[in-house]
Amino acid sequence: MYILSHFRMLLQPYSSLSMLRIIKPVIQFPVIQILTFTALFCFGTLQAQQAKKEPVEILNTDVLTIFQSDSGEVRQLTGNVQFRQDSVLMFCDSALHYPTLNFLEAHSSVRIVISDTTVITGDELNYDGETKVADLFRNVVMKDGKMTLTTQRLTYYRNSGIAVYPQKGKLVDGENVLISETGFYHTDEAKAYFRRKVVLTNPEFRLETDTLAYHTESKTAFFMDTTYIYTQKDTLYTRDGWYDTRKRYAELYNRSWMRDSTHQITADTLKFDEHYQFGEGIGAVEMMKKDSSATIYGDCAEMLKREGKSLVYAEPWMVYKMEEDTLHITARLFIGTHDSITDSSKVIVLGNVKIVMRNLQGICDSLCYIDGDSVIEMMQDPVLWSEENQMSGDTIRIWMKNETADSMRVLQKCFLISQEDTVGFNQVKGRQIYGKFRDEAIYRMLISGNAESVYFSKNDEKNTYEGLNKSLSNDLLMYFGDNKPVRITFITKPEGEFIPMFEVIDDPVILDDFRWRPEDRPEHNQILSILPWLDAKKYLRP
């Protein structure tokens, strides 16, 4: 009963199946195996009781004194004392031997030789020859191969090959040093289990947790509780997973994260090879930069830390929270780079890129976002919409200021279109466009280089259209109100004509390269279907 109560107390923290689940390590620690340790102890006791009695034999002593007590004959041994039970040898300076009970008490310089590789030493020993259970006290040291365990109290169960320490212990295995309040060690399987205030230190890292399993042959640690791993450059957090301390490779499950001085990545599963500085996130990935309002989501991610590069793919999505709005970018692939010298970050977005803000939307096939400068550069057939206005060109750049769109520039083959009720389209084209935003809307725009314009003339008093102004100028300046052109100023003398409305209706004026694309304009509702595992609604603002 003492054995059962002792191990029930020690194994109580491990009784939860969720804590004991260890996933696909090289060395398996099945739950059933841990739960059957108590059964092994009990079975070992019954086996010893049912088996033929194996008495503890005296091999040597300098002085032997025999006397009687209530327990029967007592043998007092002093000097160079040696005992043996089957294959196990026990040494000490003095002892009391109770042959009737098959029990002994050993004192001073105690040493138990279990095998060629397993030896336990201590100051005192109580040994029960019937159950083959050894209790050692004070300055206890257990050596099993290259492993050394030190504690102030240790119980060794010979039938199961398990050593238990209910007080603080320290296990040294090569470069790995493990400290815990309680734990036990399985000599036959080279497995150790640690509980409460567990710390694993190594020249390359430090690990802190409350429950840990460890395999001394593979040098692998298995996590079953909140765990932090601190390396020279990174901090890792998990509640479930394993870490090969020799190969410095970790697999972490159950929404784990990894953080360095600039970025943090969270995922359902994290794999990290510290030697090659390569990481992989699988399932509900979140990647964010320190002191930044931007977060990149996706279902898969890769981190090439030596190159300062990360990739997010499988439905990736970037969210940039601002004070009054939120910028959303979706695509097929996000590539993030970080320059440690300048501490600047850049995100390259590729494939079917879509941009959504409250008053600004856009599409392109590639995009570059520079975090430090807050610049968004759209390339490969970019189109940008602001309220009723559509802009396109070879390249579109947007500068953000105070977390809102501040200015923009369109390079080469610039085209601005806005629909004028049902009568037609206002159109402006040129080599370059410089735009300025105010209150999240375009309010001024400079078109330079062969600026062509077509815009309708309206009599506001009669609420009728009079005709169409068509002009050609080197540069022109447009002002907007309610996202519509309200005034046009020609920088140089324009060439132009006025076309009456009846002629416009019969023969609409369309400039070369005109493409009106309302069907391509992305909307907020499209974002909701990007990542089903994420509550996207909380990132969308009216």
Chunked mean pLDDT (size 10), the chain, 542 residues: 40 33 36 38 42 82 91 92 95 95 95 94 96 96 94 95 94 95 92 95 94 94 95 93 94 94 92 92 90 87 91 90 84 88 84 90 93 85 91 93 85 91 89 88 88 86 86 89 80 84 83 93 75 54 44
pLDDT of residue 79: 95
pLDDT of residue 11: 41
CA proximity to 164, closest of 120, 129, 207: 120
Tokens 């102890």 belong to 41
Q: By three-state DSSP, how is residue 504 classified?
A: helix
Q: By three-state DSSP, how is residue 293 classified?
A: coil
Q: Which fold has domain 382-514?
A: lipopolysaccharide transport protein A fold (2.60.450)
Ramachandran angles phi, psi of 9, nearest 5°: -65, -45
| Sign of the alpha-carbon torsion through 233, 234, 235, 239 | negative
Angstrom distances, CA of residue 161 to CA of 41, 45, 167, 187, 422: 9, 13, 19, 5, 89
> Strands (DSSP E) along 216-322, which ranges?
220-223, 227-231, 235-238, 240-244, 249-259, 263-273, 278-289, 294-304, 309-313, 317-321
pLDDT of residue 300: 95
**194/149 Cα distance (integer angstroms):** 12
